[in-house]
Chain A
Amino acid sequence: MLALLLAVGLSLAVGSRTLAPTAVLDALLHGGTDDAAEIVRSMRLPRTVVGLLVGAALAMAGTVFQGLTRNPIADPGILGISQGAAAGVVLAITLAGVHTLTGYIWFAFAGAAVAGVAVYAIAARGRSGASPVKLALAGAAVNALLVSVIHAVLTTDAATLDEFRFWNIGSLAGRGAAVTERIWPFLLAGAVLVLIVARGLDALALGEDVAKGLGQNIAAVRITGGAGAVLLTGAGVAAAGPIAFVGLAVPHIARALVGTDHRWLLPMAALTGPVMLLVSDVIGRILFPPSEVPAGVTTALIGVPFLVALVRRKTVTA
């Protein structure tokens, strides 16, 4: 919680023009019309709020995917689910002529759901089931295919490229209050869904048979949890573009902090996710001033060492 406050503070104060903490507080509490107040309220505050929501959404989605697949490296980015949402948006722009965020979001959901089901179906075929390697490979394959679809559309359709370009990098830059207004109902719905199945995820962690024995309806847990996670991912991607590795790293950090009980784990992930995203965003802002590094790039660069450590620590079952 404290870390979160600190991250929010940083996100408000640091940038190509650094403000003193007191100036930030002043601007928030008393308003005012000087430059500092304007910067904080009209630019950094909305951006920080989007970062909070998206970070929480991706982290919770990652936690649920890891629980559902019983797989430590599941992440909406690696599994291609974020890219599915992106492909959905591109197709919406070019084929259906959708141009509003409210319109995008439905296509993002559809794309995320299709990609998620496809990746899991591919990985789960065969004798060894959905092992980490197969999930990661299926994700890589689906990612490559979707990127190719996106590129095919973008190179043949200049108007779509123009619209999509600003959205695709996985960035918090220029996301304002309008975005927040549109996505929060979806995030809330997703969060409620995944919290409902928290018990089910705990049971599932013990194995399918045990979960059945404990009286859990596995199919219901999978569908509800999957739907919730797809809602969270789709809304997060629709708001900020595909951002990888938040959903991978955060659940592990949260697990180290509060243990494996999903009723604690999910809220903890919702707190830790925004910390990672906001810190990444801040680093991206100060790395090469005055230009910005998209947060999605920074999270990947922070996240990969994490993945490497994770893979090295465990004996990976093929």
Chain B
Amino acid sequence: MGFGHGLIAGLSALALAGSGSDEIANSGSESIVIKQDTPVELMATAEVTTATAKPGTVFKLRVNRAVLIGGKTIIPVGTLAFGEVTAAKDAGGLGKSGKMTARLLRIQLGDAAIPIEGTVDTKGSGAGSAGVAVLATGLMGVFHRGNNAKIKAGEILTGFVSEDVAIDLLPTPHRHTSTAVPAQ
């Protein structure tokens, strides 16, 4: 029975680490596990548009709301994050709108790269720029170019941590090679 309780207690400590996004792995320790599916609110720091972006274009974001675990800020506001354009179709003539798909890649917390997942699908909308051209018949014509798809600067995106990530916070945040909490 004693062994069983000890086993349960030991596993409970690990369970606290991996049981959810709000638990600190070990009290008094600077090691922590950021659980899979922990939501992270991000903000695009610059516009990403089909006018210039192509598949493979990496763009920057910043953490817009701190991620707290056990009441402690683990990922502060302003932490750098990255996304990648996976598909981009520029706007065309006759009002054809641009389309773009992007995915979230990772949060860079010190030396720790925290993989995140999330996708963004955007489509240009509304009437774009209009150019006036004289048709061969002499009639005035109006050519409407569709709007480019874009992720606007300041736009909020929500990502989710894609796997359990064990991190030592001191001296500089860095990631364990496994999610197991190191022994004290």
Partners in one complex: no
Residues of B in contact with A (beta carbons under 8 Å apart) = none
Residues of A in contact with B (beta carbons under 8 Å apart) = none
